[in-house]
């Protein structure tokens, strides 16, 4: 899964730092959508597993939100407070950013969010999704009713997306999170068919994505993301792809991808204004004129490395202590379960 996070964050960075090529392959949409499907899968799987272990509804919900708080809030609000003092234009979007509603900023103001913070829309979508999804999964006791609810929400979102072609609102994008949720449901309650005939199932999903590409390419990318998560959840990657996704550097970048996503845009803008552009514009490109207009050749690896470096520091000194608390909660839950005879 961390290998897929690596792919997702790399696609986002290609979109933002190599825009002239990233937009051609819809790199940003694909990267964010892969994050959505992954989140929907992992969150729903955890909720369903806790439900099957007969934990109380209150305990499941409480644990869920505490863990989300410890994982997401610390560096998110750190970035916002830093932005408050370093980016004058942040004041325009501050109320929306602090309340995780950046994805509705354009709808209500008629303006785009400041570029350094426009990427926060996807985090807003996920947080808004987390508000109601746990209750839907936990408080509906019938398995069939849970499945029906997932399909209902997914279908309604798909129809809204098709009708209005909106890329940032919750109602338009939560179908991707539902894709992941549906996958988690099938994995838990239909494990036999889920883990057998993987090649056939993947081929069906892939062919569906190819067909959809000529009808609605964004939905096709969502279905392709679904296939990748399905393969990863079955540990079904082989050959070069498996080696790449399990490479230590790839796994680490995937592990800190949340920080990379959060920091990369404001960091990239600061580097561009105060370091990269002044140096680049001072160079003589007579030896190779095309290079002057393709600065991304240098900018992309530079900005990618800088984002990973900042995310590394953030993870080690800020996120890790909070994640230890999160792991302690999980350990406490294990200890609190009754021990069966013979175990």
**Are 219 and 161 a contacting pair, CB within 8 Å?**
yes
pLDDT number for residue 315: 94
CA dihedral sign of residues 237, 240, 243, 246: negative
The count of other CB atoms within 10 Å of the CB of residue 160 is 18
pLDDT number for residue 54: 75
**Are 201 and 13 a contacting pair, CB within 8 Å?**
no
DSSP codes of every residue in 245-293: HT-HHHHHHHHTHHHHHHHHHHHHHHHIIIIIHHHHHTS--TTSGGGGG
Which stretches of the chain drop beneath a pLDDT of 50? Answer: 335-343
pLDDT number for residue 141: 83
pLDDT number for residue 331: 58
Whole-number Å distance between alpha carbons of 209 and 195:
21
Model pLDDT for residues 7-63, shown as the tens digit of each residue? 999 999 999 999 888 989 899 999 999 999 999 999 999 999 888 887 888 889 998
Rounded to two decimals, the pTM is 0.92
Whole-number Å distance between alpha carbons of 107 and 113:
11
| Helix, strand, coil fractions of the chain, as percent rounded to 5 | 80, 0, 20
Task: Name the residue ranges covered by the structural domains of the chain.
Answer: 2-330
pLDDT number for residue 181: 97
pLDDT number for residue 342: 39
165 Cβ partners below 8 Å, 6+ apart?
Answer: none
């Amino acid at each position: 899964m961390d290998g897929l996070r690596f792919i997702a964050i790399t696609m986002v960075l290609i979109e933002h730092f190599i825009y002239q090529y990233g937009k051609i392959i819809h790199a940003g949409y694909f990267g964010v959508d892969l994050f959505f499907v992954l989140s929907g899968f992992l969150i729903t799987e955890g909720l369903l597993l806790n439900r099957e272990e007969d934990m109380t509804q209150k305990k499941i919900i409480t644990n869920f939100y505490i863990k989300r708080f410890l994982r997401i809030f610390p560096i998110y609000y750190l970035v916002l407070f830093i932005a408050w003092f370093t980016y004058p234009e942040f004041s325009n979007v501050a109320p929306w950013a602090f309340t995780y509603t950046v994805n509705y900023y354009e709808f209500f103001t008629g303006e785009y969010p400041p570029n350094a913070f426009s990427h926060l829309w996807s985090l807003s979508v996920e947080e808004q999704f987390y508000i109601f999804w746990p209750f839907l999964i936990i408080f509906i006791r019938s398995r069939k009713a849970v499945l029906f609810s997932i399909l209902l929400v997914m279908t309604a979102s798909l129809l809204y997306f098709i009708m209005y072609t909106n890329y940032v609102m919750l109602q338009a994008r939560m179908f991707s999170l539902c894709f992941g949720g549906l996958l988690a449901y099938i994995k838990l309650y239909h494990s036999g068919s889920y883990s057998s005939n993987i090649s056939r199932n993947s081929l069906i999903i892939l062919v569906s994505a190819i067909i959809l590409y000529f009808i609605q390419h964004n939905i096709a990318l969502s279905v392709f993301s679904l296939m990748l998560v399905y393969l990863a959840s079955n540990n079904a990657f082989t050959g070069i792809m498996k080696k790449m996704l399990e490479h230590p550097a790839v796994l680490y970048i995937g592990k800190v991808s949340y920080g990379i996503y959060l920091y990369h845009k404001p960091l990239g803008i600061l580097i561009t204004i105060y370091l990269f552009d002044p140096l680049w514009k001072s160079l003589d490109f007579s030896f190779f004129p095309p290079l002057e207009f393709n600065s991304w050749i240098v900018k992309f690896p530079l900005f990618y490395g800088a984002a990973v470096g900042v995310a590394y520091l953030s993870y080690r000194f800020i996120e890790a202590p909070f994640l230890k608390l999160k792991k302690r909660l999980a350990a406490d839950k294990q200890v609190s379960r009754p021990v069966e005879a013979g175990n």
